[in-house]
Amino acid sequence: MRVLVRRGWGPRPVGGGPGARPSPQWRALAGLGASPGGEDGRGVRVREKPPWRVLFFGTDRFAREALRALHAARENKEEELIENLEVVTVPSPSPKGLPVKQYAVQSQLPVYEWPDVGSGEYDVGVVASFGRLLSEALILKFPYGMLNVHPSCLPRWRGPAPIIHTVLHGDTITGVTIMQIRPKRFDVGPIIKQETVPVPPKSTAKELEAMLSRLGADMLISVLKNLPESLSNGRQQPTEGVTHAPKISAGTSCIKWEEQTSEQIFRLYRAIGNIIPLQTLWMDNTIKLLDLVEVNSSILTDPKLTGQPVIPGSVIYHKQSQILLVRCKDGWIGVRSVMLKKTLTATDFYNGYLHSWYQKDSQAQPSQCRFQTLRLPTKKKQGKKIVAMQQCIK
């Protein structure tokens, strides 16, 4: 769905009739960059070089790092890269606002709340983790178009959750792409700059976000230092290798013990554990798994684990290591703490629930006491809540 933006920013462009010379805005939209020394269609001469007037669009921690770099460049009077910096963000359920708004307010930068985009004159728009479709009318307000700082190697992981899907799918290489924005579609514009980096083993999405945010901020400043040249050297995205990174839902956090391997469960934990805890079902109660750990090979030789067949979801308390051992498709995972009404250590959960369950039926087998896959009903409100959580914690 196309998002409408506030119109009436500045005077109506002139010279746009049939046969007129394309304005620099159209050149930027076509990936050609602005015409140095030309006019922007409103009688205003387009700047050939810095300092630039920038309008920044962003929400989360990843975007905040890019904004911080822009702000530092504006404060550096010797470099003369940024003359003016203003910010657009989106409404937030948090009274403090999202990280970008918090930083902008602390830094005394002008802040607008979408769809209000201010009424000033700008040279270029910069977008990072904004999550709104931008209209052609808005893009063409900027003589040099709009740049997007995207934390993946496009065209891999187009969409709002590229870092989560990078971790979730076990990618070994990732990166950041600076691209030009196109109207009505996400992450399809020409690539202006792209750098790749290895994904650190067992890194969480939060850790990877911090690393890529710094890389993206440095790349953005590099592009702005040579903006006209950078735009003229842009290249179209490959048509092969396109993958999509949709927003996660609450259902993503529900472990499927019969289907998922231990590696897949740990990837899921590292990808979304800081946003929403992994969930399962125990005795008709929803239980959240808060702290997952890999199981030491010495523990796997315990007779309780090898002496009898167990089915996926089976739960055994390992007293020596004080963890819950849970069987999945191909092995075991360890759980140090859970939430069932309140936060419980593995020992607390055993003493309060598992042990009493065994006492009631001393003949019960471990396979009878098990976690089961939680099936959540599809609710639009629930999906909106998860999206808000993703924004607020970043």
Does residue 195 carry a pLDDT above 90?
A: yes
Which tens digits make up the pLDDT trace of 310-323? 899 999 999 999 99
Tokens of 319: 């007293």
- How is the beta sheet containing 191-198 ordered, strand by strand? 111-113, 82-89, 52-58, 124-128, 146-150, 173-180, 191-198
pLDDT in the model for residue 361: 58
pLDDT in the model for residue 157: 98
pTM comes to 0.85
Give the span between the Cα atoms of 245 and 225, in whole angstroms.
31
pLDDT in the model for residue 37: 56
Mean pLDDT of 98-124: 97
Concatenate the DSSP letters of all residues of 5-27 into one string: -----SSPP-S-STTPPPPHHHH
First-to-last alpha carbon distance for the chain, in angstroms, is 25
Q: Which residues are CB-neighbours of 205 under 8 A, at least 6 positions away?
A: 163, 164, 166, 167, 270, 271, 272, 274, 275
Of 92-96, 337-341, 361-365, where does the model show the most confidence?
337-341
Tokens of 230: 């950078």
pLDDT in the model for residue 22: 38
* pLDDT > 70 fraction of the chain, expressed in percent and rounded: 80
Alpha helix segments (H runs only) across the chain: 24-29, 61-75, 99-106, 136-139, 162-168, 205-225, 227-232, 262-272, 303-306, 346-349, 355-360, 380-392
Using left for φ > 0, alpha for ψ between -120 and 50, and beta otherwise, residue 46 falls in beta
Instruction: Give the 3-state secondary structure of 175-229.
Output: EEEEEECCCCCCCCCCEEEEEEEECCCCCCHHHHHHHHHHHHHHHHHHHHHCHHH
pLDDT in the model for residue 394: 40
Mean pLDDT of 362-386: 66
Does residue 393 carry a pLDDT above 80?
A: no
pLDDT in the model for residue 379: 58
> In terms of Cα–Cα distance, which of 210, 147, 149 is closest to 180?
147
Which tens digits make up the pLDDT trace of 256-308? 999 999 999 999 999 999 999 999 999 889 999 999 999 998 888 877 777 66
Helices 205-225/61-75 angle, 10° precision: 30
pLDDT in the model for residue 239: 96
Give the span between the Cα atoms of 30 and 233, in whole angstroms.
12
**SS3 state at 237:** coil
In the chain, how many H helices and how many E strands? 12, 13
Cα 383 to chain center, whole Å?
Answer: 16
Which tens digits make up the pLDDT trace of 50-66? 999 999 999 999 999 99
Note whether 124 and 191 are within 8 A (CB): no
> In terms of Cα–Cα distance, which of 15, 87, 48, 2 is closest to 232?
48
